[in-house]
Every structure is written in C-alpha cells, then in structure tokens.
Amino acid sequence: MKVILAKSLLKANSDVAKLNKDRLDGCKVKAINLISSPGTGKTTLLEKVLELYPGKMSVGVIEGDIATIRDAERIATKGVPVVQINTQGICHLDARMIEKALGELPLDQLELVIIENVGNLVCPAAFDLGEHEKIALLSVTEGDDKAAKYPRVFEAATAVIITKADLLPYIDFDLNACLKELLQINPRLKIFVTSAKTGSGLAEFVSWLFDE
Ligand SMILES: Nc1nc2c(ncn2[C@@H]2O[C@H](COP(=O)(O)OP(=O)(O)OP(=O)(O)O)[C@@H](O)[C@H]2O)c(=O)[nH]1
Ligand SMILES: [Mg+2]
C-alpha cells in the first residue's frame, strides 16, 4: 500500500514537471536546479555569479527553503526577479511549488531560471521539477566521501560544483579522490572546482552555464 502511494505521488509530480518544462520551453527559458546539503554555498555562488557577470543573461531565481525569506532577500539585492518558496517543513521542492512560482516570474523577459532547492542532498534528487538540468554542489568541508555515500543526486546531475576550495589547505579533503569517485558515479559529469571567496573557478562555470 505504502509503495503504491509513493509511486502515485511521484507520478503526479512528474506529470506537473512535464507541464512546467513545456511552459519553459514555450517561453524559450532554460531552468536549472541547484541541489546540495545545507550551507554548501548555493546562495553565495548565485550572489557571486550575478555580481561578477551582470546582464550576461536575463536570470530569474526561485529560492526554496523550509523557512525564512533570507535567501530571496540576498538575491533581490542583485536586481533580479526572485520568488521565495517556503516548504513549511518539507525537505525538497516539488513540481507544483515550481508551477506556482513560475507564474510569479516574468518568464517572457527571462532566458534562464535558477532554482535553489531546499538544502538537502537526498530528497531533492527524487523530485523532478521540469528543469532542464540538475547541478549538484559539494563543499570541501563536507568530506571527500560524500559522492559515494549519496550517489543519486550526482548520477542525475549534468555538472558538479565543488565549493569552498579556498579552505582546502586547512582540511583533510582529497580532491583527486573525490573527482575520481564523482566520475566513476557519472562519467559524463562536468566538474568545476570553485571558491566564492577568491573567485577561482567561477569564470569557467559561468561560461559553461551561459554559453553552452
Ligand atoms: N570559505 C568559504 N566560505 C563560503 C564559500 N561559499 C560559501 N561560503 C560560506 O558558507 C556559508 C553558507 O553559504 P550559503 O550560500 O548560505 O549556503 P547555502 O547552500 O545557500 O545554504 P542553504 O540555503 O541553507 O542550504 C556562508 O557562511 C558562506 O559565507 C566559499 O567559497 N568559501
Ligand atoms: Mg541558500
């Protein structure tokens, strides 16, 4: 009974996700879904990208959090349209939430919608939102074994952004081992090693994101 219920929930979600995707395609808007643990640096990366490369593309942002409008407030200072979703305890965004948020964005004026999912490395990977690509983030402070321990999001992603590379000298994080493991899990992954603090790796990520 439980299994059947879970299946029908996911089916209902993917039906709405398909509608979201059709709507985005109809407006020629690409959507990406940023997924990581809490505090990996999703909002900071977005802030930096919007700050360093303003106007490269018309971007709209959807922020997903369990509570508060803090991330949306941070993004709003960069002058882009942003919608905050509060899931009230749910550990991931779902397609219905995105359907509603898309209605609040000026889609006809946008080229790219960036969705920041709720901080969680597990649940968001199971819920398609209608996005074109999932991008996973992994910070060096989380440990180099996380890709193998939480593989699903890395299997589903097109790219991985390793964040907080400026902290590498201070912690035991085997970057080469991590990169090798990521590619074993998903050989097609594009991987960027970045630091929002020093700016390293951001230009490469931005040109991949905006020019691909
Ligand atoms: N040293 C260092 N700290 C960083 C970097 N990127 C982010 N941080 C710090 O990491 C903390 C969390 O960053 P956020 O951007 O809020 O993380 P998040 O993934 O958006 O967090 P949630 O939305 O809560 O899941 C903040 O204190 C940032 O200043 C980085 O490249 N280097
Ligand atoms: Mg955030």
Q: Residue 34 forms beta bridges with which residues?
A: 116, 135
Q: In angstroms, rounded to a whole number, what is the distance separating the alpha carbons of residues 41 and 19?
A: 30
Q: Is the pLDDT of residue 53 over 90?
A: no
For the Cβ of 200 lying below 6 angstroms from any atom of ligand 1, the answer is: no
Tell me the whole-structure pTM to 2 decimals: 0.96
Task: Please determine, for residue 2, whether its predicted confidence score (pLDDT) is greater than 70.
Answer: no
Residue 171 DSSP label: S
Beta bridge partners of 114: 32, 61
Q: Is residue 141 within 6 Å of ligand 1 at its C-beta?
A: no
What residues does each domain of the chain span? 2-211
Centre of ligand 1 to C-alpha 136, Å, is: 14
CATH class for the domain made up of 2-211 = alpha beta
Task: Count CB neighbours of 20 within 10 A.
Answer: 21
Residue nearest atom 6 in ligand 1 by C-alpha distance? 41
Q: Is 134 in the pocket of ligand 1 (CB under 6 A)?
A: no
The share of the chain scoring above pLDDT 90, in percent, equals 91
Look at residue 10 and tell me whether its pLDDT is greater than 90.
no
pLDDT digits (tens, 9 = 90+) for 105-152: 999 999 999 999 999 999 999 999 999 999 999 999 999 999 999 999
Distance of alpha carbon 172 from the chain centroid: 26
